[in-house]
Amino acid sequence: MTKLRLMPKGHWDWSIPVPLSQGWKTGNLVFVGGQISADAKGRTIDAGDVAAQTRNVMEFIRKVLDEAGANFSDVVKINTYYCYDGPEDGLTAFLGELNAVRREYFTAPGPVTTDVGVTGLAYEGLLLEIDAVAAVGVEKQHIAPADHWNWRGSEPYSHGWRVGDIVFVGGQISAYANGALVGPGDIGVQTANVFGNVQSVLRAAGAEMSDLLRFNTCYRQPDAQDGAEVTEYWEKMTEVRMRYFTTPAASGTGVRVKGLPIPGALIQAEGIAVIDPNKQRLMPEGRWDWSIPVPFSQGWKTGNVVFCGGQISSDEKGRTVDAGDIAAQTRNVFEFIKKVLDEGGADLSDVVKLNTYYHFKGAGSDITDFWEEMTKVRLEYLPDPGPAATAVRVEGFAYEGLLIEIEAIAVIDR
């Protein structure tokens, strides 16, 4: 399988020299890295204007797709990370402006979508970052389970798409068919509904939870404090999640976020399943482990694709290693990524998509300084040309003291 790096002319660029790519085309799939409203020197464009930034981002996505011979009708998945710091009653209007622009680019049935409120992005003034996956020249099946929850309004998005043996599941929430929230304030009830919805989408596509190879859980912990209660909350949520998984289960990433697009929502989950009886579970020696027994995996290999679950700077009992040191934690995380990839017969040069979630409490230019310190360590590991990438700042992780979690998708073409 031949891979094509996507680097359109006249595109935005990063604030420091990096070998990252704007996208990769591999076979029938196109991975578009996180697009932001920036110029060729990484400076924010249209600061404070969510509609203008959204249009800039969507036009950047268009350029990457065009270089791959694709267009918006080929997009099967988008993830939108938005940064909103205003009053709670203004969020609906903020998202309304964002969604109005996105609707200009998608018609029903559109891609699966996951929308997440994050603490911040790499550069001051950025309000959103969007990445995407497109499927070109291959038959697609739209997945719409009967009696499923739905969005309020006229959003053109989908709950699932099946592309060959791959099933993309969009961000699932705990809601009724009219979009109203189920289980306000109850993380247990909401988690059960969310993963029940994930299961419904998979079954409508002819798959099961056992086919899920990668899933992401974004959750809110209102009034969270540092300390043991952070892990206790994650464990309570995870005990519910485990009702839906058998051993061995998918690789996963779990991050605490600032907000979700429906008021009162505490959790959202999305994933990628592959129907492959010959898939290989990846559990390398010397890996970190979770604080409670779970059936989750560090990664999976299916065909020539390797999914590496979110890696953290932790030991075999889920205890944070190198708390407070972003450089050391980033290095630990990449060493774990290398182990997972190696067990799947891949290495960092095979990675086409890299998602980095980081936690930092500073503000202003300190945000960019922190991102650059983290990125300088990433550059020690990333080849040139490197993967398409998304990096967002989140509220935290499952364990106190963690500053970073990174997941990856690799495609072996040699």
What DSSP line would sit under 69-105, residue for residue?
T--GGGEEEEEEEE---S-GGGHHHHHHHHHHHHTTT
Tens-digit pLDDT profile for residues 23-49: 999 999 999 999 999 999 999 999 999
The torsion angles phi and psi of 327, rounded to 5 degrees, stand at -65, -45
- What's the sign of the alpha-carbon dihedral 311, 312, 318, 321? positive
CATH for 11-136, options being 3.40.30.10, 3.30.1330.40, 3.50.50.60, 3.40.50.300 = 3.30.1330.40
Residue 191 banded pLDDT, cuts 50, 70, 90: very high
The CATH code belonging to domain 139-275 is 3.30.1330.40
Q: What is the mean pLDDT of residues 291-295?
A: 93
- Smallest Cα–Cα separation from 378: which of 406, 352, 403? 406
pLDDT at position 226, please?
67
pLDDT band at 1 (very low <50, low <70, confident <90, very high): low
For 207-261, what is each residue's pLDDT tens digit? 999 999 999 999 999 876 667 888 899 999 999 999 999 999 999 999 999 999 9
Q: Distance of CA 89 to CAs 1, 86, 249, Å?
A: 49, 8, 39
Q: What is the pLDDT of residue 15?
A: 87
Beta bridge mates, 299: 282, 308
CATH topology match: 11-136 vs 139-275: yes
- Does position 164 have pLDDT exceeding 90, yes or no? yes
Report the alpha-carbon distance of residue 74 to residue 349 in Å, rounded.
26
Which of 309, 243, 249, 242 is closest to 279 using CA atoms? 249
Q: What is the dihedral of CA 221, 150, 65, 308, to 10 degrees?
A: 40
pTM of the model: 0.96
What's the pLDDT score for residue 227? 74
What's the confidence (pLDDT) of residue 88? 78
pLDDT exceeds cutoff 70 at 54: yes
**What superfamily does domain 309-414 belong to in CATH?**
RutC-like (3.30.1330.40)
The bridge status of strand 75-82 relative to strand 112-117 is parallel
Q: Quick one: pLDDT at residue 25?
A: 98
Q: Determine the pLDDT at residue 265.
A: 95
The string of pLDDT tens digits covering residues 87-144 is: 878 898 999 999 999 999 999 999 999 999 999 998 889 999 999 999 999 999 999 9
Domain extents in the chain: 11-136, 139-275, 309-414
Here the tokens at position 292 are 């409670």
Give the pLDDT mean for 332-349. 98
Q: So what's the pLDDT on residue 22?
A: 98
